[in-house]
């Protein structure tokens, strides 16, 4: 387990309300976006990895990739989390839908449009909203199915030449899926479902 993962687990508190859910989604999406992107780039660049940050154009590409991956991670985790709340409770799907829309909007309000996120960030945020709005919460399984966007986003946006990404594709996707396993375990461990149900009551 990495340093940041250990630190987050030490600081973790039970997820009992919307603020706690929002904090969990935001911190874990940040963690996943940065560790998977930088891990992939470090593996590909080897000893040259620190030198890449002296290239302004490359740094801009990294920042754009980081924010696009963050959007994908946020969407995946929000779908999984809402699905788990729905499957383990008697809350009606429309109540879960309202909860997740509110939580995701809270994250977007706090984040705004980052200056280094690139021109496509607002459109990416809208795609996240659309996915949340159209989700059938009662059909989200408690497995890795929800985590469909983040592996593809890392392959698509990482500033690595296409020939290498084509070779790396299966390994990169599997690496992202593997990293989500601990986040899923954390959510199950820290979710106080009985308290959370009070936030989705009529």
Confidence of residue 11 (pLDDT cuts 50, 70, 90): low
Is 160 a domain residue? yes
* pLDDT of res. 3: 42
Q: How far apart are the first and last CA of the chain?
A: 40
Percent of the chain whose predicted confidence (pLDDT) is above 70: 92
Contact 48, 166 (CB under 8 A): no
Query: What is the extent of the structural domain holding 110?
Result: 3-197
- pLDDT attached to residue 7: 46
The token duo for 112 is 């705004």
The average pLDDT across 160-177 equals 92
Task: Report the predicted TM-score, pTM, of the whole model to 2 decimal places.
Answer: 0.90
Given a cut of 90, is residue 64 above it in pLDDT?
yes
The residue among 176, 166, 93 whose CA lies nearest residue 136 is 93
For range 132-146, the mean pLDDT: 95
Q: Which of 50-59, 60-69, 81-90 has the lowest mean pLDDT?
A: 50-59
Contacts of 154 (CB under 8 A, 6+ apart): 36, 37, 40, 69, 172, 173, 176
Give the chain's domain count.
Answer: 1
CA distance 65 to 61: 6
Task: State the average pLDDT over residues 82-95.
Answer: 92
122 occurs within a structural domain: yes
Q: Is residue 202 part of a domain?
A: no
158 has a pLDDT exceeding 50: yes
């Amino acid at each position: 387990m990495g340093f940041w993962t250990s630190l987050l687990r030490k600081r973790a508190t039970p997820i009992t309300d919307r603020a706690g859910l929002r904090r969990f989604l935001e911190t874990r999406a940040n963690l996943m976006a940065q560790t998977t992107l930088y891990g992939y780039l470090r593996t590909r660049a080897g000893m040259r990895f620190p030198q890449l940050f002296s290239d302004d154009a490359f740094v801009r590409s990294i920042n754009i990739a980081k924010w696009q991956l963050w959007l994908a991670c946020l969407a995946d985790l929000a779908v999984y989390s809402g699905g788990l709340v729905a499957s383990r409770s008697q809350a009606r799907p429309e109540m879960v839908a309202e909860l997740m829309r509110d939580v995701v909007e809270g994250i977007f309000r706090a984040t705004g449009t980052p200056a280094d996120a690139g021109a496509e960030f607002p459109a990416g945020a809208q795609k996240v909203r659309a996915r949340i709005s159209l989700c059938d919460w009662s059909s989200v399984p408690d497995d890795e199915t929800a985590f469909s966007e983040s592996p593809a986003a890392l392959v698509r946006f990482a500033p690595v030449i296409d020939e290498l990404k084509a070779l790396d594709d299966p390994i990169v996707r599997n690496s992202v899926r593997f990293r989500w396993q601990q986040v899923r375990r954390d959510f199950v461990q820290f979710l106080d479902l009985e308290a959370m149900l009070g936030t989705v009551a009529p």
